[in-house]
């Protein structure tokens, strides 16, 4: 499993993002992680039948600016991380 794109979003509300990669499975979870900050959990996660993309909704309201790690966890706890894979911008 791998994540290979670098989405971005503003910290003024809810955004929908598509994470590109490979090996994503139905039932996968997605989140943004940054040291010293609470995780941002993806909701309404939808995995493409090909397993090459994952769409999710993230609430970025008032979150810290800068780079966050993108973490995708397949059922069975197989996880992959793209360090600094999401950029939080000011709105």
Identify the residue whose tokens are 């769409």: 55
Q: What is the pLDDT of residues 51-82, one digit of tens each?
A: 999 999 999 999 999 999 999 999 998 999 99
Q: Which tens digits make up the pLDDT trace of 5-47? A: 778 888 999 999 999 999 999 999 999 999 999 999 999 999 9
Rounded to whole angstroms, the Cα distance separating 20 from 36 reads 26
CA distance linking residue 35 with residue 8, whole number of Å: 18
1 has pLDDT over 80 = no
Write the DSSP string, 30-73.
EEEE-TTS--EE-EEEEE-TTSSEEEEEEE-TTPPPEEEEEEEE
Confidence check: pLDDT of 4 > 80: no
């Amino acid at each position: 499993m791998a994540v290979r794109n670098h989405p971005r979003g503003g910290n003024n509300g809810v955004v929908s993002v598509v994470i590109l990669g490979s090996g994503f499975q139905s039932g996968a979870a997605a989140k943004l992680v940054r040291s010293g900050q609470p995780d941002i959990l993806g909701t309404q996660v939808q995995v493409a039948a090909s397993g090459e993309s994952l769409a999710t909704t993230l609430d970025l309201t008032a979150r810290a600016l800068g780079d966050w790690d993108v973490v995708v966890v397949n059922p069975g706890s197989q996880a992959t991380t793209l360090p600094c894979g999401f950029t939080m911008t000011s709105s």
